């Protein structure tokens, strides 16, 4: 690309305060960490007039503030003389950010994408949506609140960079609160450990899957069973109709005399507030059972030590938004080679001779 003589590194000023504390003769340990960052000279694509030979160029385009804290408490609530031990640990972190200066006008398309986009005063990766305004009572195609506030609009111009006040702001696409809860119990050679993880505070753009027509090669969601079929259904469902071929291929005349190509409304529906889910989840991340063979038994088997372990990873997703229809919120829409982590069980035997 063409050189940008004004391009410089991203920079930040950071305040970080932390501490480690021990209570009850170090039976309970607490770790606290707080940070605040003022970040400036953010790097990104900046749209230009094109006079210099490029419509966009990589440049320093904004400033941002970020803050957060992490808290961990751990301890051994029970330790008995017969060898029974219980260790537990809870940790969570809260992180937020806000754009304080921005030299670009993001388009509607960049704001409604699953990746999120920056907007002054909001999160650096905020998720926005077109405001849904019900289904057309005659044909069942979706309508929206227009960029100028008009009702029942079938069109949205995605390249618009100025009229964004009617967009719905959901929140960041990155979790604001994450954490884990770990427990380990040990007794007479047996050890059981369990780890739960959780996250909340973010929003997910559901996979764009609605269209005016479908072919035999399309896979259709079971939610289509609740789609608009007859006039009056717009009062009981927000799932748009599958348009009949002669309707989809021809312009529809609305009662006010306006002609509408309803096919374009379906793409806007995929990026409306009807196609957003919360990213909250609770997961049983890991379960490990370990048995250490007693030294006498190991010696009888001509071994110095022996251990048997059964490990389960990504065991079960305990809670997520029902609108995800079973998809994993932690890996949703990653695409490419970023596949969800499969459920995995491993049996291992370790022996020393």
Q: What is the mean pLDDT of residues 154-167?
A: 87
Q: How confident is the model at residue 324 (pLDDT cuts 50, 70, 90)?
A: confident
CB atoms within 10 A of CB 191: 17
Judging by DSSP bridges, how do beta strands 132-135 and 85-102 pair with one another? unpaired
Show the tokens assigned to 111.
């704001």
Show the tokens assigned to 35.
């940070």
40-44, 46-50, 104-108, 167-171: the lowest-pLDDT one = 46-50
Instruction: State whether residue 152 is helix, strand or coil.
Output: coil
201 compared with 306, residue with greater pLDDT: 201
Q: What is the mean pLDDT of residues 337-345?
A: 75
Cβ-based neighbours of 151, under 8 Å, separated by 6 or more = 133, 143, 145
Residue 36's beta-bridge partner residues?
15, 67
174-188, 254-268, 318-332, 333-347: the lowest-pLDDT one = 333-347
SS3 of the chain: helix, strand, coil, percent, to 5: 10, 45, 45
d(CA 234, CA 143): 11
Q: How confident is the model at residue 276 (pLDDT cuts 50, 70, 90)?
A: very high
d(CA 322, CA 315): 19
d(CA 71, CA 147): 43
The pLDDT of residue 304 is above 50: yes
- Please provide the average confidence, as pLDDT, over all residues in the chain: 88
Q: How confident is the model at residue 296 (pLDDT cuts 50, 70, 90)?
A: confident
Q: How confident is the model at residue 336 (pLDDT cuts 50, 70, 90)?
A: very low
Q: What is the mean pLDDT of residues 9-36?
A: 94
The pLDDT assigned to 248 comes to 63
The pLDDT of residue 111 is above 70: yes
CA atoms within 13 A on the CB side of 162: 1
Judging by DSSP bridges, how do beta strands 28-47 and 142-144 pair with one another? unpaired
The pLDDT assigned to 334 comes to 53
The pLDDT assigned to 49 comes to 77
50-54, 328-332, 338-342: the lowest-pLDDT one = 338-342
- Could you give the percent of the chain with pLDDT greater than 90? 53
φ and ψ of 235, to 5 deg: -85, -15
The pLDDT assigned to 333 comes to 60
The pLDDT of residue 260 is above 80: no
Q: What is the mean pLDDT of residues 296-320?
A: 87
């Amino acid at each position: 690309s063409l050189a940008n003589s004004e391009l410089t590194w991203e920079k930040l000023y950071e305040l970080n305060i932390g501490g480690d504390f021990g209570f009850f003769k170090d039976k309970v340990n607490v770790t606290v960490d707080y940070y605040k960052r003022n970040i400036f000279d953010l790097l990104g694509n900046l749209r230009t007039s094109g006079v210099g030979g490029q419509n966009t160029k990589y440049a320093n385009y904004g400033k941002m503030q970020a803050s957060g804290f992490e808290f961990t408490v751990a301890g051994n609530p029970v330790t008995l003389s017969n060898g029974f031990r219980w260790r537990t640990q809870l940790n969570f972190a809260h992180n937020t950010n806000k754009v304080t200066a921005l030299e670009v006008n993001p388009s509607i398309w960049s704001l409604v994408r699953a990746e999120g986009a920056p907007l002054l005063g909001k999160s650096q990766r905020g998720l926005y949506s077109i405001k849904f305004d019900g289904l057309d009572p005659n044909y069942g195609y979706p309508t929206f609140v227009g960029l100028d506030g008009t009702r029942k609009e079938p069109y949205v111009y995605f390249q618009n960079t100025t009229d964004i006040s009617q967009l719905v702001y959901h929140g960041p696409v990155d979790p604001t609160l994450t954490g884990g809860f770990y427990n380990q119990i040990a007794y007479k050679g047996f050890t059981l450990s369990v780890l739960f993880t959780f996250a909340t505070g973010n929003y997910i753009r559901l996979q764009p899957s609605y269209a005016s027509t479908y072919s035999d090669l399309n896979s259709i969601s079971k939610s289509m069973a609740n789609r608009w079929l007859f006039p009056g259904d717009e009062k009981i469902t927000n799932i748009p109709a599958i348009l009949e071929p002669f309707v989809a291929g021809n312009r529809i005349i609305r009662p006010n005399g306006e002609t509408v190509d309803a096919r374009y409304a379906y793409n806007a529906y995929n990026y409306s507030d009807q196609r957003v889910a919360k990213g909250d989840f609770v997961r049983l991340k890991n379960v490990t059972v370990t048995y250490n063979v007693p030294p006498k038994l190991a010696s009888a088997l001509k071994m110095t030590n022996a251990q048997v372990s059964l490990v389960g990873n990504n065991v079960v997703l305990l809670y997520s938004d029902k609108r995800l229809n079973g998809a994993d919120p932690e890996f949703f829409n990653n695409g490419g080679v970023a596949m969800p982590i499969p459920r995995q069980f491993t049996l291992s035997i370790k022996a020393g001779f």
